[in-house]
Amino acid sequence: MRIIELFDEANIVLNNEESELFEFLNVHKTVTKRDLSPRQLYLIDSLVNKNLVIRKKINGNLAYSISSRI
């Protein structure tokens, strides 16, 4: 379990799988949808819903990166 502290909001709790994926994104900066497994896609949607990850379209492909507010 990991807790991420944000300046403008309450603490956000991540489970172990979300935390591992968040660290993976932190290292790789940007990851495309095709680079992720179905389970990772489910987890990354959870991180998007928690406003920790940004989903954007780059050259017709979905890409994920860590939010600038972190």
All structural domains of the chain with their residue ranges: 2-66
* Inter-residue long-range contacts of 25-28, CB under 8 Å, 24+ positions, other chains counted: 25/53, 25/64, 25/65, 25/66, 26/66
| CATH code of the domain occupying 2-66 | 1.10.10.10
| pLDDT of the chain, 70 residues: tens digit per residue | 666 666 566 678 888 999 999 999 999 989 999 999 999 999 999 999 988 999 999 888 999 999 887 7
CA gap 69, 40 in Å, rounded: 22
Residue 60 near residue 20 (C-beta atoms within 8 A): no
- Give the DSSP letter of residue 36: S
pTM recorded for the entire structure: 0.80
CA gap 7, 17 in Å, rounded: 24
